[in-house]
């Protein structure tokens, strides 16, 4: 696919991508509701379209934040994925995707998920700079600051978790037993 080098700053509003699809019987899990994996795949696709439109390059998925499935989505519902760039780093962007499910017969629409996906712009098989994100509204500005904070907390959390995992790996059997004993009592 041809890629254009475009580092012209872009407004949040110009990054918005909306994709909608009716959920089919093939999307159902063993309870007849829509598979979580179907929704995650569409979130990923929407994040790809949003980040690639923003950067003018092919983007790849670097990470997914936690996605909670608060209520089931039914087969036959129209599911919409609305993506926009909420934070832009040097070569990566955070895309926020809001998911809505609509019962098209009753005309009732509900918000089912919010997902945040970090996408990295790629050129010549290497991460490449993305344009600056222009935050015009108060919401844009707050979301940008939240995205920056989420990124910092992600890094800090990963380091902290790895430090503790390394301690577990280096512990003696007696120390592990003591830790387990403590967990059972607490």
Ligand X SMILES: CC(C)(COP(=O)(O)OP(=O)(O)OC[C@H]1O[C@@H](n2cnc3c(N)ncnc32)[C@H](O)[C@@H]1OP(=O)(O)O)[C@@H](O)C(=O)NCCC(=O)NCCS
Site string for ligand X, 125-164 (x = CB under 6 A): --x-------------------------------------
Q: Which two tokens stand for residue 137?
A: 């509204």
Give buried/exposed letters for 124-152 (b at 16+ CB in 10 A, else e): eeebbebbebbbeeeebeebbeebeebbe
Q: Which two tokens stand for residue 162?
A: 């790895």
Tally Cβ neighbours within 10 Å of residue 44: 18
15, 80, 91, 96: which one binds ligand X (CB under 6 A): 91
Give 28 or 67: the residue with its C-beta nearer to ligand X: 67
Least CB distance to ligand X at residue 158 (A) = 8
Q: Applying CB under 6 A, does 62 fall inside the site for ligand X? A: yes
Give 77 or 94: the residue with its C-beta nearer to ligand X: 94
Residue the block writes with tokens 């995205």: 147
The CA distance from 151 to 68, in Å, is: 19
Tally Cβ neighbours within 10 Å of residue 28: 16
Who's near 37: CB < 8 A, 6+ residues apart?
Answer: none
Number of residues that bind ligand X (CB under 6 A): 11
Give 102 or 146: the residue with its C-beta nearer to ligand X: 146
Q: Applying CB under 6 A, does 112 fall inside the site for ligand X? A: no
The residue number whose beta carbon is nearest to ligand X equals 89
Q: Applying CB under 6 A, does 90 fall inside the site for ligand X? A: yes
Q: Which two tokens stand for residue 113?
A: 């998920």
Give 85 or 120: the residue with its C-beta nearer to ligand X: 120
3, 21, 61, 114: which one binds ligand X (CB under 6 A): 61
Closest by CA position to 13, among listed 74, 85, 64: 85
Give 72 or 89: the residue with its C-beta nearer to ligand X: 89
Residues that bind ligand X (CB under 6 A): 60-63, 89-92, 118, 120, 127
């Amino acid at each position: 696919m041809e890629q254009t080098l475009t580092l012209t700053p872009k407004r949040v509003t110009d990054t918005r991508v909306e994709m909608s699809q009716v959920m089919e019987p093939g999307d159902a899990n063993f309870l007849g509701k829509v598979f979580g994996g179907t929704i995650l795949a569409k979130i990923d696709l929407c994040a790809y379209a949003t980040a690639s439109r923003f950067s003018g390059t092919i983007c790849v998925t670097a990470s997914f934040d936690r996605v909670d499935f608060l209520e089931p989505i039914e087969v036959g519902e129209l599911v919409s994925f609305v993506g926009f760039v909420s934070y832009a780093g040097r070569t990566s962007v955070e895309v926020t995707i809001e998911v809505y499910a609509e019962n098209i017969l009753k005309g009732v629409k509900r918000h089912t998920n919010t997902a945040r996906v970090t996408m990295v712009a790629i050129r010549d098989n290497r991460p490449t700079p993305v344009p600056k994100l222009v935050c015009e509204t108060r919401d844009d500005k707050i979301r940008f600051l939240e995205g920056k904070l989420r990124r910092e907390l992600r890094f800090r959390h990963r380091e902290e978790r790895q430090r503790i995992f390394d301690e577990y790996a280096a512990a003696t059997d007696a120390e592990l037993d003591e830790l387990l004993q403590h967990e059972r009592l607490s």
